[in-house]
Chain A
């Protein structure tokens, strides 16, 4: 069920990533201020945007789980957060590399944008121990959903607070109505954003398909191992 459409999605993702890289290195002009180092922008910013939106999406799935009590939504929420945390790691590392090249420091503790992202990342890093500390599966899913909703609501609040704060060195991306980017740069950025968003979607679907397959195999094994009256075991007719 979860693997449906994964192949065309994967092909679209690879094609989009290839197009994005081509535009970044062969089409987008060099930045007048930062020069070649600005190419990291087309990776770092889309990753950050998709990771933050992914956290919020995880919260939305958690709301659906709490409303319907359908475990499917808990799986969606978990996987959305999981992939966003991985993207978060990439954001922190690529950001540190860009900071070192631009500012001469791997990290600037006074900068609200950097510290706020680190706080959000660390908040979501606690999701795993929090979730797996609870043994009962139903309670685990419910508490994890409450966490995802709370943390998901914190993300846009945190983002707005950072936008209102005075920036020290980190540039404010898209602070102006036209985005402050020339046409070629804007096009390259939008393609990169679409490529990273597609990658996130593909990885979420991939992870969900793997989790679903693993769960179905486990259920099938339990059904086969369970002793049934009459001395034989039967396969469950349908495992969702």
Chain B
């Protein structure tokens, strides 16, 4: 174990690989997480559009021909 402690610092060109590796791994994890979250947000947006379409359709049904006739003849 003393050998491990006595090990000299790695030369810059060799150490650079490991340092770059560690920071790139962190960056990749972050990007993968953000990509997954972006896909989730896109799905929510799509669902929201569908819900808005349903709401519009319901509104049209509610304000259908019967209601239009009622509104056109207020004294009837």
- Residue numbers of A with Cβ under 8 A of B are 31, 33-37, 39-40, 43-44, 47, 86, 89-90, 93-94, 97-98, 100-104, 168-169, 199, 203, 206-207, 210, 213-214, 217-218, 220-221, 224-225, 232-233, 235
Q: Which residues of A contact B16 (CB under 8 A)?
A: 36
Tell me which of A93, A168, A221 contacts B50 (CB under 8 A). Answer: A221
A203 with B33: CB separation less than 8 A: yes
A102 with B7: CB separation less than 8 A: yes
Task: Write the nearest CB–CB distance from A222 to chain B, whole angstroms.
Answer: 10
A210 with B7: CB separation less than 8 A: no
Closest 8 CB pairs of A and B: A35-B9, A101-B18, A36-B15, A37-B15, A94-B22, A40-B22, A97-B22, A217-B47
Q: Which residues of A contact B62 (CB under 8 A)?
A: 232
Tell me which of A36, A214, A217, A220 contacts B19 (CB under 8 A). Answer: A36
B44 CB-CB contact with A under 8 Å: yes
Task: Mark interface residues in B26-52 (1 if CB within 8 Å of A CB, else 0).
Answer: 100110010001001101100110110
Q: Which residues of B contact A33 (CB under 8 A)?
A: 9
B73 CB-CB contact with A under 8 Å: no
Tell me which of A98, A199, A206 contacts B37 (CB under 8 A). Answer: A206
B26 with A90: CB separation less than 8 A: yes
Q: Which residues of B contact A210 (CB under 8 A)?
A: 37, 40-41, 44
Report Cα–Cα, A225/B51, bound state, in Å.
9
Chain B residues touching A, range: 35 or more
- Residue numbers of B with Cβ under 8 A of A are 1, 4-5, 7, 9-12, 14-16, 18-19, 21-23, 25-26, 29-30, 33, 37, 40-41, 43-44, 47-48, 50-51, 54-55, 58, 61-62
Q: Which residues of A contact B29 (CB under 8 A)?
A: 86, 89-90, 93
B4 with A103: CB separation less than 8 A: yes
B19 with A37: CB separation less than 8 A: yes
Which A residue sits closest to B50, measured CB to CB? Answer: A221
Q: Beyond A36-B10, A104-B7, A235-B55, is A214–B44 a contact (Cβ under 8 Å)?
A: yes
User: 11 new A-B pairs (CB below 8 Å) besides A169-B5, A233-B58?
Assistant: A36-B10, A37-B19, A43-B26, A86-B29, A93-B25, A102-B4, A214-B47, A217-B48, A221-B47, A221-B54, A235-B55
B37 with A35: CB separation less than 8 A: no
Report Cα–Cα, A47/B33, bound state, in Å.
16
Tell me which of B10, B22, B33, B58 contacts A35 (CB under 8 A). Answer: B10
